[in-house]
Structure 1
């Protein structure tokens, strides 16, 4: 939408984790990748499934590491928003 073009200038500098399935029929992977490109340092996790967070332990470990890292960076009691 042209009236919102100013919202798409520059990249967001907040931490972002994007989990996307190659067979997602709800949110196509190309749309998820376009969203990830809006962030300055996105973490992208791809999997072979659909619109789910897979139960694969390797993926779960990556998600847990992302959350743990950013919990340490911000520290306890920090509120956002």
Structure 2
């Protein structure tokens, strides 16, 4: 598969995750924790961390600023 097609596939794949985050956050007071994101998408903690960091970088979500068990993310 040419690289440009692979990149397009990855972008649409991540967009699908974003739809799940929006739906989940809407029923949980606008918040999502990393373990919920991880379980919702059936991915490793490392992948969940990387995905959420990317969403922060894209200014789609923001972090609570907390580390560990109290950490959560909200939609912008």
Common topology (TM > 0.5)? no
Q: Higher relative contact order by CA 8 Å / sep ≥ 6: 1 or 2?
A: 1
Q: TM-score, normalised by structure 1?
A: 0.28
| Max Rg structure | 1
Q: TM-score, normalised by structure 2?
A: 0.29
Q: Which has the higher helix share?
A: 2
